Structure 1
């Protein structure tokens, strides 16, 4: 297997086994990375290189909006408004090649990313740890699991 295939498999496995909170923080981390890269390319005058980063950022925001449960908490509708605003700005930044607009999007997203990281860390600290599989099955008599 070549490096690209191994990296792709690693990413796929990481995403497949991540908790919902971890997935959310991974999306926000990548969103900030895409915005940073796009801004750098725009400031260098390379709109063609910035485009894929901005398009990927739009894909992430679209996914965040699509999975947001509007009735789950009081601030969900306001967060959806932020996502809608971000999509509009990202499209405009891409069309115009506007690094300042891209930077403004990044500056809006960074505190959200930090807040989600803080919430995920708090959730991890207060969550009840799961019993390891080996410990859960070790004391059971033969046949109890329906295998023998």
Structure 2
């Protein structure tokens, strides 16, 4: 059963559009933070650390793939990613559930916005540029 699930997940990722991949990353990031929060509350520090480290990996990937030259708001988004990354490191080192919750609160609106953007229909390209609308 696990092999089938892994195959399904691999296929879903490989066939996803860039917008779908982004929303998948945000979904997993928030799931990791929820799991980290629960582990911190239960004082399961090893599990909390594993979840926070995975969340840091996702934020690093978001930072790595964000091209600040393409969109004028990208530098502000990068600043959020930088802040969240540093907060996750501190949450892990100091075992601070409040920092984990703060990261959740900062990222949840972004996750919702990306889901809404990904759900918008993309019009046929006009003059070589796809229009959303």
* TM-score (normalised: structure 2): 0.90
Q: CA deviation at 1:7?
A: 1.3
Compute the displacement of 1:14 (Å). Answer: 0.5
- Corresponding residue of 1:13: 11
Residue 77 of structure 1 aligns to a residue whose secondary structure is helix
1:90 aligns with 88
Residue 118 (structure 2) pairs with residue 120 (structure 1): yes
Q: Which residue of structure 2 lines up, in the alignment, with residue 37 of structure 1?
A: 35
Distance 2:75 2:122 in 1: 27
Is the partner of 2:70 in helix, strand or coil?
A: coil
Deviations 1:77-132 (A, max 9, x none): 0111111111100011011111111010001000000011111111xx2344xxxx
Q: Secondary structure at the match of 2:24?
A: helix
SS at match of 1:45: coil
Please report the RMSD computed on the Cα atoms of aligned residues, expressed in angstroms.
0.9
**Bigger Rg, which one:** 1
* Runs of 5+ unmatched residues, structure 2: 125-133
